[in-house]
Structure 1
Amino acid sequence: MASPLPAVRRIKLGSQGLEVSAQGLGCMGMSSFYGAPKPEPDMIALIHHAVRSGVTFLDTSDIYGPFTNEVLLGKVELATKFGIRFYEEDRREICGDPAYVRAACEASLKRLGLDCIDLYYQHRIDTRLPIEVTMGELKKLVEEGKIKYIGLSEASASTIRRAHAVHPITAVQLEWSLWTRDVEEDIVPTCRELGIGIVAYSPLGRGFFSYGPDMVNQLSDQDFRKTVPRFQPENLRENALIFERVQAMAKNKGCTPSQLALAWVHHQGSDVCPIPGTTKIENLNQNIGALAVELTPDEIAELESFTTADAVKGNRYGSLMPTWKTSETPPLSSWKGE
């Protein structure tokens, strides 16, 4: 008989009043980027199981699908995103233009069947215009009751500060896992200084800490992870050593490698909510089980010793993907308006 799942506690995400499950569910892989879309009935069953289990903080975006992922999701604590616009069929651009922000929000509300979005993120930062301009429109959407809380994704510390000065930011979404720790130097401290919650995406290294290096052989040709530098053969051989050490430690702890890696993220603070994605109920249950894994300070230090910056080989994205390192925007004084 399977062990009962631990209770999923609730946490305050940021200082603006949003309360969510301590672990969320990333929904991207249900509809896009990790191969072909999964069968809708299976994904609906997974979402229902997550909510029944106490995982009620679901993360989506208009670009997932595109658009179809939002249609899947019901009335829970829902976070969705805007900021990556399609044009000329399958071509994309980063956009923070006020008119687009409003149109994207209205479209997401319609697809989601909601009157108000709990947490609305800017998915990527438009570096062509001041962040204050985009935030001004988001502030209006809050005042109109169309969104409750504002979030940023992949934003630099200075961008976060400038945005927060226009309207309080509730959460910043960033990639944070055992092998992606560069945010700890500047971005995480900035969020904590300003009372902003931290939502950690890809906390399992895009599946690496669930399946190890062999996962690459199981990926479809449509899976974007095949292009990620860390999964290229020359880097994967070195990164496999990290998985082996995590796997050995997990065996001694009586848990799985993925539970150990996810527990490490949970132990980073009560202001951190990881959102591991999955398309399988058994994996969801395993992820919930990570909430029961307790780590001592010595164990945390040991895990971190495996994943120093020089130990992890390869970048987390290809060179063309915008991230917080390339998110600086022009000063507001340069803005001449429409």
Structure 2
Amino acid sequence: MQTRQLGPFSVSAIGLGCMNLSQGYGPPITDKQGESVLLTALDAGVTLFDTASLYGFGANETLIGRVLKTHRQRFTLASKCGMTGVDVKGDGKLVRVIDGRPDTLRRTCEASLRRLQTDVIDLYYIHRLDKTVPIEDSVGALSDLVRKGYIRTIGLSEMSATTLRRAHAVHPIAAMQTEYSLWTRNPEIAVLQACKELGVAFVAFSPVGRGFLAGEPLQPESFEANDLRRSMPRFEGSNWEANARLLPAYRRLANEVGCSPAQLALAWLLQRAEHIIPIPGTTRVDHLQDNLGALDVTLSADVLVKLDALINQHTVAGSRYNAQGNLDAQTEQF
């Protein structure tokens, strides 16, 4: 397994985003299916597993804790705080709330440790910026958790280069996690360069464009009611029609290289910079194995030029999030 540096950790060059095992793209899979994906990834050499207190409102951390607790020394465990489920109306229905207050972050960490069945979380991200709380206060709370031995390193998710620099001045930031792929180029505005300058790993989630770059034809009209892509403009109406027209040429490039479309997307990311670590998510073992095959793919300069010209911020139609999602994500916008 090829490795890359993430703070003090040497991790697999491709990690596993675990959200899909509990939420996001239709009905959750069975625990048995989730266990199979997790253990297959571990046996294949994946050593970075990424979860969050938000995913399945704790269910994802519970699954990882149950399945991987006996293998804890074999991998780097990442989770997130600052965006959790809260019973706002008192009716038992949890809604997503961004809360970066120090006391909330401490309580969230303690609950995550119990669900994950571990004494320490290796990398603990602030999931989204709480715009009512100075980032210095939120990072300061996590630095206290580092000193107490509850977490080892601190990360940020979907935040700007300016926020990264402010946070890094309080406590070293090990990683910035943001959506990045051929069809989501926002990190290229400022965050990628800031990470490089500060020695911060860049963890790319949704590296195959939420399935768009994975090769299998998507039919947005048939997405399940709880599929998060239903609220994303890129998968809607004329935007989707325009984006789908990019795929035949993209698949031809994959055939030219001799790899799968998903491998093409991941190989492109891996060759962008050494500090980039993609964490594709999947619910299927065959897709997991296909993703890891990207480590054996080397793209020529000519192919890289063709890819950049084909799928980029100018050729993709529609925003990556809806209006609320764009407000929640502080990453620089085109």
Structure 1 position 171, deviation (Å)? 0.3
- Paired residue for 1:189? 193
Q: Which of residues 90, 99, 102 is equivalent to 1:95?
A: 99
> Is 1:323 aligned to 2:329, yes or no?
yes
- Paired residue for 1:140? 144
Q: Does structure 2 retain, via aligned residues, the 8 Å contact 1:18–1:170?
A: no
Structure 1 position 224, deviation (Å)? 1.1
Q: Which of residues 21, 26, 33 is equivalent to 2:17?
A: 26
Deviations 1:291-330 (A, max 9, x none): 1110112211110001232210001111101112489xxx
Structure 1 position 164, deviation (Å)? 0.2
Deviations 1:229-284 (A, max 9, x none): 00002101111122221101111111111111111011111211100000100000
Structure 1 position 174, deviation (Å)? 0.6
Mapped to 1, the partners of 2:194 and 2:300 lie a distance apart of: 26
- Paired residue for 2:260? 256
Q: Which of residues 5, 25, 37 is equivalent to 1:12?
A: 5
- Paired residue for 1:52? 43
Deviations 1:108-147 (A, max 9, x none): 0000000000100000010101100001110010011110
Q: Does structure 2 retain, via aligned residues, the 8 Å contact 1:264–1:300?
A: yes
Structure 1 position 213, deviation (Å)? 5.0
> Is 1:292 aligned to 2:285, yes or no?
no
TM-score (normalised: structure 1): 0.91
Mapped to 1, the partners of 2:212 and 2:135 lie a distance apart of: 34
- Paired residue for 1:247? 251
Q: Does structure 1 retain, via aligned residues, the 8 Å contact 2:187–2:332?
A: no
- Paired residue for 1:3? none
Task: Report SS of the residue matched to 1:67.
Answer: helix
Deviations 1:75-117 (A, max 9, x none): 2311110111322232222111010010000000000000000
Unmatched segments (≥5 aa) in structure 1: 1-7, 328-338
Q: Which runs of 4+ in 1 moved over 6 A?
A: none
- Paired residue for 1:78? 77
Structure 1 position 216, deviation (Å)? 2.2
Q: Does structure 1 retain, via aligned residues, the 8 Å contact 2:176–2:203?
A: yes
TM-score (normalised: structure 2): 0.92
Q: How many residues align?
A: 318
Task: Report SS of the residue matched to 2:218.
Answer: helix
Q: Does structure 2 retain, via aligned residues, the 8 Å contact 1:153–1:173?
A: yes
Mapped to 2, the partners of 1:154 and 1:70 lie a distance apart of: 20
The AA in structure 2 aligned to 1:80 is S
Q: Which of residues 149, 152, 159 is equivalent to 1:155?
A: 159
Q: Does structure 2 retain, via aligned residues, the 8 Å contact 1:213–1:236?
A: no
Structure 1 position 211, deviation (Å)? 3.7
The AA in structure 1 aligned to 2:4 is I
Q: Does structure 1 retain, via aligned residues, the 8 Å contact 2:187–2:331?
A: no
Deviations 1:22-63 (A, max 9, x none): 101111111012111110011111100100000121111111
Mapped to 1, the partners of 2:49 and 2:166 lie a distance apart of: 27
